[in-house]
Amino acid sequence: MASETTPVYVIGHKNPDTDSICSAIAYAELKNQLHGGGYCAARAGQINQETQYVLNFFQVSAPKYIEDVKTDVRDIEIRKTKGVSGQISLKKAWNMMRSLGVVTLPITEEQRLQGLITIGDIANAYMDVYDNCSLSAAYTPYKNILETLDGVMLNGDENAVYEKGEVVIAAANPDVMEDYIHEGDMVILGNRYESQLCAIEMNAACIVVCMNAKVSRTIQKLAQDHGCNIIVTPHDTFTVARMINQSMPISHFMKRDNLITFKLTEKTDDIKGIMGQKRHRDFPILDMDDNYIGMISRRNLLNLRKKRVILVDHNEASQTVDGIDHADILEIIDHHRIGTLETLEPVYFRNQPLGCTATIVYQMYQEQGVEIPKNIAGLLMAAILSDTLMFRSPTCTAVDQAAAEKLSEICGVEIEEFSIDMFSAGSNMSSKTPEQIFNQDKKKFQVGEHEFIVAQINSMNSIELDEIKEKLVPYLNGTFGSLGVEMCFVMLTNIVKENTELLCFGEHAKETARNAFQLPDDIEDVRLKGLVSRKKQLIPSIVTVLQQ
């Protein structure tokens, strides 16, 4: 069963036809009814006019477009380490890292990443020798000092910031202290009244009284009059002196420049190299609005969740969605010849010699005892009519025709009238560019070392097919070299007359076609009477020649 967070994509081939789109939608619906959700119909290319007519007629949305099924950052288990304020102390950050079991903390403000601090940064901060101005130079909040020293503030505002002066220890007599205590200093001292009084009179910004020593009312009143804060801590002087710099805010130590971050949509292939070059343990992840959402490490790449797919209406590697090598194929439902696609593990593979994948999907609804919704019945019917050219194709079987007739009853749409409208919508090429016409239904095949493309355009109008030919011939003569194949064939199929004119591009294309169909050597136009099926009539003949 699929989960909502990691859907299983049910997807057809590139340059999808009506069968590819409608079978994906119908099979995803069946899987969702059987398993309670988590299956998503998808497509690997643009929808042609015929298919769009079908979707509009039965009021069904087009499947989600999937450019590729390579893994991206969203497929990695992102650790939801919450962002922290840059004002928290080094000590608090250290304790948070230990309790969370992490080595990096993100510093954020309103979900925006401000910087990063690592456990190494904190360790270095502890080891560095700071001058006695560091606490004020870091603009340390008093509440950090209280938290670090487990202290209590008798006088002053704990939300204020210590921003001027040095940290000194009152270890000498008052007459000596007068020489090294300056206005704005923070003085660490004990319970000696004289020392407390001297620090206050020298206009210290704060006195830190150790060992929970009692502070007299007189001293508190005098400190208040001089604007001097008083902090009382249970720790001794040595401990306070050692710990007080741990109260400095992490913003003073965080890395804020040239941060290496990744977006949710970045491909894991792209980020692996970057992660391998850097010594960082963790990398922040941002959403499409640049908001911080979590962290990943190199170790997370080991538990990568591959995208899961079910392939319908194809099993050729050259026809499938890009990045299929990075995905887990769960099932293949098809009616074509066994192609070149390989899987790492055994999969459910249902391949039947029928005229349409939609017929197989219809059978699966019947086998599972699942009622077919009217709109899904309409899609399946349309797919069968399209792939079998309204039962005229030699690929059509009695099973296909019986399925289409039953689906027609369910959706309440008459077959012949619908077919004419559907094919007319699909063959309306007047507004399309040659590139759009060529790409709307093309498939790539490989036989041994030979690679070739076969595109097919169906029409009920011979005049329209002639117009399409006038557009395609100059276009393909000019662009054939960029297709990356040895040969290219375009089938101009007249559905009514049940024949095809085959356009041939490539040095050996016309010779291959002549050999495949025993045509004279001097023939110019390759016209094939009774040939309407790419799958059952054209491809097997070409494959036979190439294998010889």
What CATH number did the domain enclosing 238 receive?
Answer: 3.40.1390.20
356 and 448 housed in the same domain: no
In a domain, 263, yes or no: no
| Amino acid letter, residue 430 | S
Winning range, highest mean pLDDT, from 290-304, 394-408, 459-473: 394-408
In a domain, 290, yes or no: no
Q: What is the pLDDT of residue 248?
A: 94
Mean pLDDT of 491-511: 94
Q: What is the pLDDT of residue 3?
A: 40
Q: At what angle do helices 18-35 and 374-387 cross, to 10 degrees?
A: 150
Q: Tell whether the model's pLDDT for residue 493 goes beyond 50.
A: yes
Q: Which residue has the tokens 């070299």?
A: 481
65 and 105 housed in the same domain: no
Q: 5 pLDDT band (50/70/90 cuts)?
A: low
168 and 226 housed in the same domain: yes
E strand intervals along 301-432: 308-312, 328-334, 348-351
pLDDT per residue as tens digits for the range 184-237? 999 999 998 999 999 999 999 999 999 999 999 999 999 999 999 999 999 999
Widest distance between CA atoms in the chain:
120
Cβ atoms within 10 A of the Cβ of 1, count? 10
107 and 234 housed in the same domain: yes
Q: Which two tokens stand for residue 269?
A: 């292939």
Name the domain count of the chain.
3
Q: Which residues pair with 443 in a beta bridge?
A: 454
CA atoms within 13 A on the CB side of 378: 18
Mean pLDDT of 382-402: 94
* Cα 521 to Cα 397: distance, rounded to the nearest angstrom: 35
H-run or E-run covering 224? helix 217-226
Q: Which residues pair with 263 in a beta bridge?
A: 286
Q: Which residues pair with 488 in a beta bridge?
A: 453, 505
123 and 168 housed in the same domain: yes
Q: What is the pLDDT of residue 430?
A: 72
23 and 141 housed in the same domain: no
446 and 368 housed in the same domain: no
Q: Which domain holds residue 30?
A: 8-71+307-426
**Alpha helices (H) in 128-173, listed in sequence order:** 134-137, 142-149
Q: What is the pLDDT of residue 339?
A: 85
Q: What is the pLDDT of residue 1?
A: 40
pLDDT per residue as tens digits for the range 136-185? 999 999 999 999 999 999 999 999 999 999 999 987 777 778 788 899 99
**Residue 262 CB partners (closer than 8 Å, separation 6+):** 73, 271, 283, 284, 285, 286, 296
Q: 129 pLDDT band (50/70/90 cuts)?
A: low
Mean pLDDT of 96-100: 92
384 and 484 housed in the same domain: no
Q: What is the pLDDT of residue 2?
A: 43
Q: What is the pLDDT of residue 463?
A: 87
Mean pLDDT of 419-426: 89
Q: 16 pLDDT band (50/70/90 cuts)?
A: very high
In a domain, 281, yes or no: no
* Cα 75 to Cα 390: distance, rounded to the nearest angstrom: 43
162 and 13 housed in the same domain: no
100 and 231 housed in the same domain: yes
In a domain, 285, yes or no: no
406 and 318 housed in the same domain: yes
In a domain, 279, yes or no: no
Q: 244 pLDDT band (50/70/90 cuts)?
A: very high
pLDDT per residue as tens digits for the range 325-375? 989 999 999 999 898 888 888 999 999 999 999 999 999 999 999 999 999
470 and 532 housed in the same domain: yes
Q: 404 pLDDT band (50/70/90 cuts)?
A: very high
**In terms of pLDDT, which residue wins out, 430 or 284?**
284
**Strand 348-351 relative to strand 140-141, pairing:** unpaired
Nearest alpha-carbon partner for 80 in 44, 105, 49, 115: 105
Q: Tell whether the model's pLDDT for residue 479 goes beyond 70.
A: yes
Cβ atoms within 10 A of the Cβ of 255, count? 14
Percent of the chain whose pLDDT exceeds 90: 75
Q: Which two tokens stand for residue 235?
A: 């720790």
Rounded to two decimals, the pTM is 0.68
